[in-house]
Amino acid sequence: MPSRRSVLAAGAGVTAALAVGGTARADDGRPAALLSRMTLAEKVGQLFVARVYGHSATEPDPADADANLTELGVRTAAELVAKYHVGGIIYFTWAHNTRDPRQIAELSNGIQRAALGQPRGVPVLISTDQEHGIVCRIGRPATLFPGAMALGAMALGAGGDPADARALGRIAGLELRAMGVRQNYSPVADVNVNPANPVIGVRSFGADPEAVAALVAEEVRGCQESGVAATVKHFPGHGDTAVDSHTGFPVITHTREVWERLDAAPFRAAIAAGVDSIMTGHLLVPALDDSGDPATLSRPILTGILRERLGYDGVVVTDALGMAGVRTRYGDDRVPVLALKAGVDQLLDPPDLALAHGAVLKAVQDGELTEERLDASVLRILRLKEKLGLPAEPYADPDAVGRVVGRPGHLAEADRIAVRTTTLLVNEGPLLPLSPRAHPRLLVLGADPASPSGTTGPPTTVLADALTALGFTATALSTGTDPSADTIERAVTAAGAADAVVVSTYNVTAASPQRTLVERLTATGRPVVAVAVRNPYDVAQLPSVPAFLAAYSWTDVELRAAARVIAGAARPQGRLPVPVQRADDPARVLYPLGHGLTY
């Protein structure tokens, strides 16, 4: 318990912080008392969520230690915490943070030991992007669920239930918490209305704002019931863009009225569900702010709309600050300062942490940012840590993690949900289901995109193995996403020895060699089943294929579900959560939202 004196001392700081946009709460006692004891450098550190290389907080591999030294000026995660007092750390597969569940739990504990050993002993809020589907930082043996658009297809299908998103959120949250990860940058609340969207696509629940809102709210509730902070993204909405904010600066041309009707609904639903954090999008929305600044740096959007109009007083976190969408107008020293002035609380993964930390510190010392403004954000972050129970229980239990992560009941739930997501769009004849008696020998070929977590796939092998387990003799042949003429010839020759062909497709365009491959396979006279392992829009480019399934991702759980549908071990139940336009006339709809066949 803080002393009476410390609580009284905190009162003045809390009052000042509330004056710049916060709301007084009954549970502010311990966070406010802690805030009152923090130095300016410690407060600035709390605003940052940093990356760090390595599987261990104190003994990373030499290459990871060198990478940390080059990019962060420290060798280990423990040194990072000691030097910058960071409030958060984000885990990435490519940063070698996520080898296996026990290692992740021990890394989390090492980070917390380093933080609790500092003078103020503030635990670190550890985060990651575990969206499931095509964005997943922690792979097997963790439970991997279908992605958002697959859940959108499930919810529209016969017997579909948005509450399945709550089950996903709860189980995913329980497993993350067991590994010491207490903030998940999921779910995606963007309404995907642009088939050309290169960055959202199947990461969105779909094109209907009300359906997306319902699923977002359910996943938020499930995640937070497990003791993990959910994070909806990317405010004010990244669904209608043809530019990836990682590599460019997207512009959303929606009018204010269209934004209110289309983009805002899922964020409103998330706020009503009590979402702990909201991530900003690095995109320009002139109808909401005509200054030319991205939303991440826009006070009219983050304070005027999100804080004041929508009434949100939780934590606002930027998307990664190394992305091009937030770096086109300002230098890396200005971006974090402008984000804070706009209304942001957490600054995620700046490209140069030393530069960003120093810039914020200087902005406060020079008076550009008041310490009261800083306090408002730090108080929100400390409140969230208190809500999650981090000060009382900062550590994971490495000995128990194996009993939680990937437990049989969780895996069964993922399979149960997945089998209701597969969507049958075309079935001439009907060709499906295939049977081992009529089509004993299957050739499974096509695109083999890399696993999002590095622990599953490749898709053709997973499909072939699953179909073999269902009674077929299936052979896998990877032809890639850009098959050469020689590769296509080999595939066509191999198809001649098969009774039917299953081909995985990945983002097929009019000029894609994948289209040529499918046309050549269909011309052999062999029955051909196409399975889109990302965007369902592939079907518009493949008019000759007699059977077409949308799996929405290439993770094992979705591919096993597609195999069961192909074999007739399960009926297709999914319905398109987005419309598919004609390839030759995009103004006309080929398959409407809600389309889906069954047998």
DSSP lists the bridge partners of residue 591 as 580
CA–CA–CA angle 126, 332, 375 (5° rounding): 55
Element (H, E) at 523: helix 513-523
How is residue 212 written in tokens? 């997306």
How is residue 491 written in tokens? 């595939």
DSSP lists the bridge partners of residue 547 as 427, 529
- Residue 235: what are its φ and ψ, rounded to 5°? -65, 135
> How many CA atoms does the CB half-sphere of 12 hold within 13 Å?
7
Of the candidates 276, 289, 319, 448, the residue annotated as catalytic is: 319
Sheet holding 315-317, edge to edge: 315-317, 277-280, 229-235, 183-184, 125-128, 88-90, 48-51, 347-348
Contact 234, 278 (CB under 8 A): no
**Residue 451: DSSP 8-state:** P
Contact 487, 479 (CB under 8 A): yes
Of the candidates 161, 244, 246, 333, the residue annotated as catalytic is: 246
Looking up tokens 């590599």 gives 247
Identify whether 319 is a catalytic site residue. yes
Torsion (CA) 43, 45, 46, 48 in degrees, nearest 10: 140
Looking up tokens 């889109």 gives 532
Q: Is 547 left (phi over 0), alpha (psi -120 to 50) or beta?
A: beta
Residue 354's Cβ-count burial label (10 Å; 0-12, 13-18, 19+) is middle
How is residue 88 written in tokens? 């958060």
- Give the residue numbers annotated as catalytic, written as ranges: 246, 319
